[in-house]
């Protein structure tokens, strides 16, 4: 059976023979608890992208779950028009995720934070645009939601990739799981916050809620601007 070498071995960064690493120490199996406290807890970059994911999910889940109600109640669109406009959000997400991944791998050489910040900045403007789309204009609203979907799904994908980059191989799955946990927390705040804010202050303030979340997420990801996988740092030296 063909066994491929690791990326580190391929680039000559480590030597590996018969399960023994380059310093002669045999790898030992660690428990999930040991991995979490050894590799995740002290790694501030993993926590930064995880918390950022909370705010990304507020925008993503808020728009996905509540856009039909917002468009019908606040912008005068029919149920069919609201559904069609919301569908563009998810379609754009596919394109945005692929585009963000390609940019981070090629143009930015593995620096996920730079692509994420760029997308989050444009997301802020896309969310803001929703406020200025005239009522009963389904086409402009669909365009605005397409832009939001495109720019929110890119960072959502890259957060998980960045977490895996910042963790070791042993902790990659745990790091990605942590970002997912914060994503679920963000989804809870999105649904609870949207319902509470729309009932008390109206739909425009819901958009402000999403706008603030996008801005905070961008500021957090800005802290990862120069960071990337240590393996990629060694490769590109």
Q: Delimit the domains of the chain by residue range.
A: 44-224
pLDDT of 169 reads 82
Residue 32 confidence class, pLDDT cut points 50, 70, 90: confident
Give 115-146 pLDDT, tens digit per residue. 999 999 999 999 999 999 999 999 999 999 99
Give 161-181 pLDDT, tens digit per residue. 999 999 878 899 999 999 999
Q: What is the pTM of this model?
A: 0.86
d(CA 23, CA 150): 46
Find the mean pLDDT for residues 5-27: 48
* 22-31, 121-130, 163-172, 191-200: the lowest-pLDDT one: 22-31
pLDDT of 125 reads 97
Question: What b/e readout covers 178-215, taking b as 16+ CB neighbours within 10 angstroms?
Answer: bbbebbebbbebbeebbeebbeeeebeebbebbbebbb
The CATH H-level (homologous superfamily) assignment of domain 44-224 is MFS general substrate transporter like domains (1.20.1250.20)
Find the mean pLDDT for residues 16-35: 60
Residue 12 confidence class, pLDDT cut points 50, 70, 90: low
HSE toward the beta carbon, residue 192, CA cutoff 13 A: 6
The vertex-44 CA angle with 40 and 47, nearest 5°, equals 70
> DSSP class of residue 36?
I
């Amino acid at each position: 059976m063909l066994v491929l070498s690791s990326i580190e071995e391929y680039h000559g960064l480590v030597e590996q023979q018969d399960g023994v690493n380059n310093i002669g120490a045999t790898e030992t199996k660690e428990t999930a608890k040991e991995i979490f406290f050894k590799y995740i807890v002290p790694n501030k970059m993993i926590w930064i992208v995880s918390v950022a994911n909370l705010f990304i999910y507020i925008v993503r889940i808020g728009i996905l779950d509540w856009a039909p109600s917002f468009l019908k109640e606040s912008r005068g669109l029919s149920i069919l028009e609201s559904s069609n406009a919301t569908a563009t959000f998810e379609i754009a997400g596919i394109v945005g995720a692929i585009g963000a991944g390609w940019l981070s791998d090629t143009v930015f050489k593995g620096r996920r934070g730079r692509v994420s910040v760029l997308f989050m900045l444009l997301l802020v403007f896309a969310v803001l645009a929703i406020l200025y789309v005239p009522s009963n204009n389904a086409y402009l609203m669909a365009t605005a939601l397409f832009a939001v979907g495109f720019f929110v799904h890119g960072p959502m994908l890259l957060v998980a990739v960045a977490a895996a980059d910042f963790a070791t191989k042993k902790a990659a799955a745990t790091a990605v799981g942590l970002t997912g946990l914060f994503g679920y927390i963000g989804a809870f705040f999105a649904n609870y916050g949207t319902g509470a804010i729309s009932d008390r202050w109206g739909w425009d303030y819901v958009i402000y809620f999403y706008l603030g979340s996008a801005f905070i997420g961008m500021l957090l990801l800005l802290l990862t601007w120069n960071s990337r996988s240590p393996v990629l740092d060694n490769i590109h030296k």
